[in-house]
A and B are shown apart, each in its own frame.
Chain A
Amino acid sequence: MDESQNDMIVQVKNLKMYFPITRGLLRRKVADIKAVDDISFEIKRNETMGLVGESGCGKTTTGRCVLRLYEPTSGSIIFTGHDISKMPERKIQRYRKDMGAIWQDPFGSLNPRQSAGGIVGDPLKVHHMADKSELKDKVAELFRIVGLDPDMMDRVPHEFSGGQRQRIGVARALACSPSLIICDEPISALDVSIQAQIINLLEELQEKLGLTYLFIAHDLAVVQHISDRVGVMYLGRIMEIADSWELYENPLHPYTKALLSAIPIPDPVAEKTRTRIVLKGEVPSPVAPPPGCHFHPRCQMAIPECSQARPPLRDVGNGHYVACIRV
């Protein structure tokens, strides 16, 4: 393994995740939902990779595949040099403790009948990383890291506020000292004034602990703020990947442009001078996506060739990749 390989914490290659739609008594397969349709990307150690897109674009499915909560239909997921995409469950445990996950809903993702300390301590028990005597100390330490009072360990989730609950989620994700954390919409269920607290916490932890994030969200402003690189997804495919600033300054894909222009900015002066690209129609169904480029029916720049073949994600320099034949 050469040096550059070592630097990659995750390499996703040609990942496909299809969910079958079955019908009838024999559960015959009639179609596939192509949630993730042949995507590739890499995450370097200590960087934040953002995945952004609207609901149903496959960003969450991608995250779950990387965690191997789903077994991908095809493609490979190379985590710290090991392909985990087809690995049997019992072997995966070893690698999974090196991954953490923070979920969107701080209400639904915590067991309401378990104490906060129990929730945070569970991963340590599962992976035999702490014996009984040291468990409590370790959990207390995790509480302190995420800014919670260790005295609150015995409380149950409903006794915490939304922001505090998300901190419990962060502490649980950190429990086994993972190198990679998948953050799936970690702030979208929180109040505006609380969101910044969690974003800052994630940024501080990254610096302190050398974490790598896969940050999945629909809010491009948030993703751009926290990420080094951003991938834009649409209907199961990556349309564009670039450094976060480059993506904002120089978006190439027509979908990225529309997405950027649709994000409201809290500044009336800037808003009044911006042109807004309003997309026509709606996102098509992932069961029968349009041929060729998935975006072409809604694209202002589409030409007949766009419906012929899938445009490859090509390198346009500076680590900027775009899947469009019109740029």
Chain B
Amino acid sequence: MALLDVQELQTYFHTEYGLVKAADKVTFHVNEGEIIGLVGESGCGKSVSILSVMRLIPSPPGETVGGKVIFEGKDLLKYQPNGREMRAIRGSKLTMIFQEPMTSLNPVLTVSRQLTETLELHLDMDKRAARERAIELLRMVGVPDAPRRIDDYPHQFSGGMRQRVMIAMALSCNPAVIFADEPTTAVDVTTQAQLLELMKDLVTRLNTSLVIVTHNLGVVARYAERIYVMYAGRIIESGRSEDIFGHPRHPYTVGLLNSVPRLGERHGTRKLIPIYGLPPNLINMPQTCAFLPRCTEKIGKCEKEPWPELRAVGDDHYISCYVDIKGK
């Protein structure tokens, strides 16, 4: 039984230009202590999906109109977004690490205040105990000289250190699942390596599940056990990491993997194969597959039938496509 089970989640945005189905029938699950990856380009709905799970979609214009989010036997979508039940879960059992630590930390509060707030609120600690625990958390995420740095403000930290503070905050109440939304996009590669190794170590040690949301295929290849690939608001392929990268079956996943340069290719030996065209505009989309205009594998059925549901093509390997390309 999965720890977190998201079924057919639908989040729509009502805009003045029309309806945007930002997340459409998104189904995924997270097992205990597992690292999964949610991959896709900007605007594919990956952030919207996890924000919907956290019930952080601003309404209006957004609205989660369907689906279930089962966590600890309860459907989170039944709760009020700002109700007591949801507030008890959010930031405590389900936590988030955001992309840009400078804008997601409050610039006018010390790190200490921001870390102890959650501890006092969720774990009912007194001020002194919370401070002790906050210092311990900062040590755990590798902030040097933690007892002194804890009284600093976010701007006094470097980008990598700020992201460590975010990680400490996400870990503070022993969460069940951490959602990391592009956690390393704003930092350099060597810092990215530091942060990812740190997160991996911590979640393994604490048996916490981690959902890494990213556009960078390489980031999830090393850490995620299972991967969900999203396109235009839907999950179009999911499976074990080795299958997704080794034997992708959806034309979009194949295209994506062929279009990125890989380290260790001799200069001039391989021409990249781009995906032609553009990601679709999500406003008032047609019923057919959203990848159709860019697809090189399309068959007659694709033009007539609606966007296919996910179907199994292997052990724990699903694609939403009428065509099934085997191998690369």
Contact = CB atoms under 8 A, between A and B. Distances in A.
B267 A278 contact: no
A258 B190 contact: yes
A317 interface: no
A264 B194 CA distance: 12
B197 A276 contact: yes
B197 A278 contact: yes
A269 to B, nearest CB: 6
A248 B264 contact: yes
Contacts, number: 139
B41 A200 contact: no
A22 interface: no
A261 B263 CA distance: 10
B37 to A, nearest CB: 10
B193 A221 contact: no
A194 interface: yes
B271 interface: yes
A279 B222 contact: no
Nearest to B216: A264
A203 B194 CA distance: 33
Closest 3 CB pairs of A and B: A264-B218, A225-B261, A196-B274
Interface string A9-39: 0000000000000000000000000000000
Interface stretch (B71-79, B87-95, B240-248): B240-248
Contact of A192 (B215, B221, B266): B215
Interface string B247-288: 000000001110111111111000111111011000000000
B218 A161 contact: no
A4 interface: no
A105 to B, nearest CB: 15
Interface in B159-204: 160-161, 188-194, 197
B47 to A, nearest CB: 14
B271 A265 contact: no
A269 B273 contact: no
B190 A220 contact: no
B104 interface: no
A269 B267 CA distance: 23
B279 A220 contact: no
B219 interface: yes
8 contacts: A163-B278, A196-B275, A224-B265, A225-B262, A245-B267, A260-B263, A279-B193, A282-B191
A265 B221 contact: yes
A193 B222 contact: no
Given A245-B266, A259-B190, A262-B192, A269 B246 contact: yes
B271 to A, nearest CB: 7
Contacts of B260: 192, 195-196, 221, 266
A218 interface: yes
A227 B267 contact: yes
Given A259-B190, A266-B217, A276-B197, A193 B261 contact: no
B22 to A, nearest CB: 17
Contacts of A196: 259-261, 272-275
A278 B193 contact: yes
A109 interface: no
Contacts of B265: 224-225
Interface residues of B, number: 44
Nearest to A243: B267
A272 B265 CA distance: 19
A218 B264 CA distance: 16
Interface in A227-259: 227-228, 243-245, 248, 258-259
A224 B267 contact: yes
Nearest to A193: B275
A197 B274 contact: yes
| A interface bracket (residues with beta carbon within 8 Å of B) | 35 or more
Interface of A, secondary structure class, is helix
Interface string A51-68: 000110000000000000
A224 B261 contact: yes
B188 A55 contact: yes
Nearest to A54: B188
A123 B188 CA distance: 34
B43 to A, nearest CB: 8
Contacts of A161: 278
A282 B272 contact: no
Contacts of A55: 188
Nearest to A281: B144
A199 interface: yes
Interface string B221-249: 11000000000000000000110011000
A195 B259 contact: yes
A54 B246 contact: no
Contacts of A87: none
A272 B222 contact: yes
A271 interface: yes
Interface in B279-308: 279
A197 B294 CA distance: 13
Contact of B259 (A192, A259, A269): A192
B156 interface: no
B42 interface: yes
A191 B42 contact: yes
B274 A200 contact: yes
A248 B263 contact: yes
Nearest to B191: A282
A124 B220 CA distance: 46
B82 interface: no
A264 B221 contact: yes
B158 interface: yes
Nearest to A244: B267
A268 B190 contact: no
Nearest to B193: A262
A157 to B, nearest CB: 16
A278 B246 CA distance: 26
B279 A191 contact: yes
A267 B247 CA distance: 11
A220 B267 CA distance: 12
